[in-house]
Amino acid sequence: MPELPEVETVRRGLATRVAGRSIERVWVGRERVVRRTSRDELIAGLTGTTIERADRRGKYLLLPLDSGDAVMIHLRMSGQVLLVPADTPRADHTHVVATLDGGADELRFVDPRTFGEMVVFDPERVGDVLPELARLGPDPIAEDFPRSLLRDIVMSTSRGLKPLLLDQHRIAGIGNIYADEILHAARLRPDRPANSLDSRAVTRLHRSILDVLSRAVEAGGSTLPDSRYVDLLGDGGWFQFEHRVYGRTGERCSTCGRGWIRRTVAAGRSTHFCPVCQR
């Protein structure tokens, strides 16, 4: 958390409100957030540049700069990217502040747990600076994701479907929440071997990946009681009100009306499913 829909929501805000603007100055607090390089390198790499656009791959925000470099932002567990008036008091755990052109607005990176990070890098050297970004699988929303590609992915392994969906090297951006919701929508058990899917099951899974992620993006993502996710302006999402299984252990299934949502563990993560819908 945040996952693809939440990061895409932040990206859209950046594309609308920040792309095309220049960065006048940069302040960096806790250096753990810039641990791949250094405080000085982030400041030097951002100051005086213009953010050309806002891109995303999986859970990574990517902002190309007019210098030829790009800045990567990863929210991890509790990171927030906020656009606020410069006179707004800084929240606790604000680690990076970029003052935008005119000085009236600031782009702030806030992260209580400091698992998130920012780095300015040369896109030509992405494999050296951000090797995990270079190894990401296809992004179901940002890139072409045909059914044939998913078929090849699932047929290549006997792993359970839940661990497969969480593997960022296979499919980028899906995390614990949306893996559970996708598998429920597809009527597939999370522990079912991927290569056991027949043609109809692959079609259901493909449709569910695109549908669940798209609907979650349009809803602004999911803001849970135990998470800090908000969009660029500090507003929460509301897709959590459409969750069918995630976080609903012990409740009656709202899809079939007969099963009771169970919780188990798959790939070391809490996993929620309906034993009736997902036989």
Q: Which of 165, 205, 201, 120 is nearest to 3 (CA)?
A: 165
Catalytic residue, candidates 2, 5, 64, 138: 2
**Do 46 and 26 form a contact (C-beta atoms < 8 A)?**
yes
CA distances 99 to 29, 84, 92, 102, 278, Å, are 14, 10, 18, 8, 50
Phi, psi for residue 157 in degrees, rounded to 5: -150, 150
Q: Transcribe 116-175 into DSSP letters.
A: -EEEEE-GGGHHHH-HHHHT----TTTS---HHHHHHHHHT--SBHHHHHH-TTTSSS--
Phi, psi for residue 23 in degrees, rounded to 5: -105, 120
Q: Is 269 considered catalytic here?
A: yes
Q: Which helix (H) or strand (E) holds 24?
A: strand 23-28
**Do 80 and 90 form a contact (C-beta atoms < 8 A)?**
no
Catalytic residue, candidates 30, 53, 263, 269: 269
Catalytic residue, candidates 56, 57, 59, 170: 59
**Do 1 and 115 form a contact (C-beta atoms < 8 A)?**
no
Q: Is 162 considered catalytic here?
A: no
Angle, alpha carbons 29-34-37 (nearest 5°): 130
Q: Is 225 considered catalytic here?
A: no
Rounded Cα–Cα distance for residues 145 and 208 (Å): 12
Catalytic residue, candidates 3, 6, 8, 181: 3
Catalytic residues: 2-3, 59, 269
